[in-house]
Structure 1
Amino acid sequence: MANPVWGVDSAAPVNQQLLDCVKREFGAPKVWGRYIKTVPGAADGLTAQEVSFIRRNGIKILPIYSDFRQATGYREGQTAARNAIYHAGRLGIPRNVAVFANVERFFEVDAAWIRGWVNTFYTSDYKPGIYHDPIEGGFSTAYCAAQAEDEKVRAHTILWSAEPEPGVSKASEAPAFKPQSPPCEAHVWAWQYGRDADTCPIDTNLFSPLLLSHLWT
């Protein structure tokens, strides 16, 4: 694989102060993961002004949808996907960009929800992505069951892994790209290898070059 690309994600909006902090403490990010809808107490949603600022600085945007607290049930997966697709369209995110469901390690998750998420995206302008923890929690079992039930899950889903977690680092000191995967075939093209940096409110990530054509440039 070609060299991975270094980047960050944040619940906080990207402004000059935060960008300067990241560049000073860690390096220049090529990708920035940001939430497409505000969730009070958890994340600020992207605004048109912020999008312009990020893109003007030559940074690709990885869109995240997080307005749900569990990931169970086919209809619930459909509903989350429809809402994510709506907000992607509202922001003007172009076709073929992946939108990542934020499935935290402590969420309940089942195969039906994953199939609902993927199948709804399959008929949309966007690609289904899922942020997950393949070790802690039930995601791996649910994902492998979902792809056994529906080939579209394996073929079209892009995964963003939260394991292993060696810790936050500068771009120049990032680990080799070796994200943990579920124990079945999976396109794990993103890896959040460090969470909750002390000096800037960001997490640090590596991204496969395969993902770059599915980011907002």
Structure 2
Amino acid sequence: MTENRFLPYILSFVLIVFTAFTFYMFGSMDRTEPVTASSDSSVEGESNSSSTSNGDSNEISNSIENEINSENGTIDNTITNEINGANGDIDNNIDNRINGENGDIKNTIENIINGDNAQIDNNIENHINNSSNNLIDNSITNNIEVNVDVNVTNNITNNIESSGTEEDSETENGNGDENGNGVQNGEGNGNGEGNGEGTNGEDTPETVWGVDSASITTDEMLMCVRENFGDPEVWARYLRDKDGVSYGLRQDEVELLHSNDIDIMVIWNHFEDATGYEKGQSQANEAIEEAREFGIPEGVAIFANVEPIYPIDSGFLLGWYETLAESEYESGVYGIFHPDRDLYIAYEAAAEENPDLMENNYVWTSSPNHGITTEDNAPDYNPEAPEGSLIAGWQYGIDAETCNIDTNHFDSNVFDALWSNE
């Protein structure tokens, strides 16, 4: 009787322990872990991750690992991250390994950031061993709408140990370059020759691909760009040295670029306060004088470089434009022409005071920033600028550590205002 009296309590205790264990097991299954697939037969692995974060101090980390030991192994990974707010940090890591015949790997990463102070690290490693007829397709898209202090690093490593020939393997990489910037040493100056006529004609393309750089252009640098990025048709460079920031254009650069059928876009960056009509006027006069001494032909546009940290107002823009409009040169302005930026607001205000500015001043915009790419993987042409403005080009990617360049689409509008060798 005594034992029967305690039996309900014993059963209740056992039931509680069983329930707690069940909740623990199911809870563990919901925890985020690296995705791992392993098999000794034909396998198709698919991994998808989508994350959205709103607010400040956002962090998103994705880690995917796939291992397939089989024939006809296929891996398809897709990661989409979106951050709306300041201090965005995205870290994507994908590690794929296939041991077997006919290995196919596809990786797609899309990062969207609307905010400042962003850090994006994308790392992809693909290893295919003992196989033939391989296909690797890597695609990385970084869409950064507001780009103050943004660092993007894309690392792609493909390691194929194939039992077939090189013709059996196909590899495609999108956006696989790291960020950084700086200037390189160089000497020399002189006078140039040529004219301001561009490459317009009956078959004029809407845009051409090109670069800009703070470094001096050499044979080695040109080869670096062609081997790692593409074949530029326009190369933007600065007038006169600015200590610690940029090296000015040299005569031997002009000869090198023109001998390779590359047109030159001219930049002026010798100011850090872009306020006041007199300031714009004085900077324009200084740029005009420098261009004349260097031998830049009439009709070429000179672009005022307005960095995002510079104070800016409509007076400066009017002083710059109206002074250049009275000279033998054309007027242009470079900067982040995003609707929320002071430059965009000041530009529209200046155009209200003088409508000719909207029609005749060239706008070279760095908004939106998609990140550095090769020429073949450049984004579709989609610059941001005030409505009705004369767009010269779109700097869609900044600060490539390799070769020290930024990447651009240059608009057909500006072809007549480039320094060509014709």
The whole-number CA distance in structure 2 between the counterparts of 1:112 and 1:18 is 39
Whether the aligned pair in 2 keeps the contact of 1:119 and 1:152 (CA below 8 Å) is: no
- 2:296 pairs with one of 63, 71, 93: 93
Please give the alpha-carbon distance, in whole angstroms, between the structure 1 residues aligned to 2:370 and 2:243: 29
Partner deviation per Cα, 1:5-54 (whole Å, 9 max, x = no partner): 00000000000111010000001110000001110100000111221111
User: Which amino acid is 1:154 matched to?
Assistant: M
Question: For this pair of structures, how many residues does the alignment match?
Answer: 216
**What are the equivalent positions in structure 2 for 1:96-175 lying under 5 Å apart?**
96-135=299-338, 137-175=341-379
Amino acid at match of 1:197: A
2:278 maps to which residue? 75
Which residue identity is paired with 1:139? L
The answer to whether the 8 Å contact 1:77/1:112 transfers is yes
Gapped regions of structure 2 (runs ≥ 5): 1-203
Higher strand share: 2
**For 1:169-184, what aligned pairs fall within 5 Å after superposition?**
169-182=373-386, 184=387
Whole-angstrom CA distance in 2 between matches of 1:115 and 1:151: 10
Paired with 2:207 and 2:249, the residues of 1 have a C-alpha distance of: 25
Of 234, 242, 265 in structure 2, the residue corresponding to residue 39 of structure 1 is 242
For 2:249 and 2:401, the matched residues in 1 are separated by 23
Superposition TM-score, scaled by structure 1 size: 0.96
Whose radius of gyration is greater, 1 or 2?
2
Change in Cα spacing, 1:89 to 1:4, as seen in structure 2 (3 Å) is same
Give the C-alpha shift of residue 215 in structure 1. Answer: 0.2
Q: Is the 8 A contact 1:133 1:162 kept in 2?
A: yes
SS at match of 1:195: strand
| Cα distance between partner residues in 1 of 2:279 and 2:396 | 29
- 1:152 deviates by 2.2
Gaps of 5+ in 1: none
Deviation at 1:3, TM superposition (A): 3.3
**Displacement of 1:137:** 3.4
3-state secondary structure, aligned to 2:369 = coil
Instruction: Give the conservation status (yes or no) of the 8 Å contact 2:391–2:413.
Output: no
Post-superposition offset of 1:179? 0.3
Structure with more relative contact order (C-alpha pairs < 8 Å, separation 6 or more): 1
More moved, 43-52 vs 69-78: 43-52
From 34, 46, 66, the equivalent of 2:269 is 66
Separation in 2 of the partners of 1:178 and 1:70? 29
2:238–2:246 contact (8 Å) kept in structure 1: yes
Q: Where do residues 44-59 of structure 1 align in structure 2 (5 Å cutoff)?
A: 44-59=247-262
Task: Give 4+ residue runs of structure 1 displaced > 4 Å after superposition.
Answer: none
Q: TM-score, normalised by structure 2?
A: 0.50
Kept in 2, the 8 Å contact 1:78–1:120? The answer is yes
Q: Is 2:411 the counterpart of 1:212?
A: no
8 Å contact from structure 1 (residues 164, 180) kept in 2: yes
Q: Distance in 2 between matches of 1:118 and 1:127?
A: 8
Give yes or no for contact 2:215–2:404 (8 Å, CA) kept in 1.
yes
